[in-house]
C-alpha cells in the first residue's frame, strides 16, 4: 500500500464520526451564545464521556485475549464479541456519567 493511499485511508477512518463532531460544535456554539457560564460544564461532560468510552474500549482489550477481538472472529462469535465490547464501553460511560 502506498503512503498516500495509507494516509487517505486513515483520514477517511478518522472522519467517520464527523456528523457527531459537527452536531457537538453546533450545540456548543448555541450554549456558548445563550449561556457562556455553562460552556465549561458542557466541555467537562463531553470530555468525561469521551474518556470513559476510551477507558471502556481498553478495558475490553485488556480483559480478553487478543484472538477474541471482534474483528478477528467469524460467525456468531463475532457478533457476541461486538456486543460484549459495546456493553463494556456502555457500562464505562454510564459509570463515568455518575461521577460528579
The residue among 63, 62, 64, 59 whose CA lies nearest residue 90 is 59
Same structural domain for residues 12 and 54? no
Confidence of residue 1 (pLDDT cuts 50, 70, 90): low
Decide: 95 and 52 in contact? Cβ < 8 Å.
yes
69-96 pLDDT, tens digit per residue, is 888 999 999 999 999 999 999 999 999 9
Decide: 70 and 82 in contact? Cβ < 8 Å.
yes
Query: Taking 70 as the threshold, does the pLDDT of residue 68 lie above it?
Result: yes
Q: What is the pLDDT of residue 69?
A: 87
- Residue 19 Cα to chain centre, angstroms: 13
Which structural domain, as residue segments, surrounds residue 77? 39-100
Q: Is 74 exposed, middle or buried (0-12, 13-18, 19+ CB in 10 A)?
A: exposed
27-64 pLDDT, tens digit per residue, is 889 989 999 988 888 888 888 998 999 999 999 999 99
Same structural domain for residues 21 and 52? no
Whole-structure pTM value: 0.69
Same structural domain for residues 25 and 52? no
- Cα separation of 44 and 34, whole Å? 18
Amino acid at each position: 500500500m502506498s503512503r498516500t493511499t495509507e494516509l487517505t485511508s486513515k483520514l477517511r477512518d478518522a472522519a467517520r464520526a464527523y456528523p457527531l463532531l459537527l452536531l457537538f460544535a453546533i450545540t456548543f456554539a448555541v450554549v456558548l451564545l445563550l449561556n457562556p457560564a455553562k460552556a465549561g460544564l458542557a466541555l467537562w461532560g463531553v470530555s468525561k464521556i469521551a474518556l470513559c468510552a476510551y477507558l471502556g474500549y481498553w478495558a475490553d482489550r485488556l480483559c480478553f485475549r487478543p484472538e477474541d477481538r471482534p474483528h478477528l472472529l467469524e460467525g456468531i462469535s463475532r457478533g457476541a464479541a461486538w456486543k460484549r465490547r459495546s456493553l463494556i464501553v456502555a457500562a464505562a460511560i454510564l459509570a463515568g456519567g455518575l461521577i460528579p
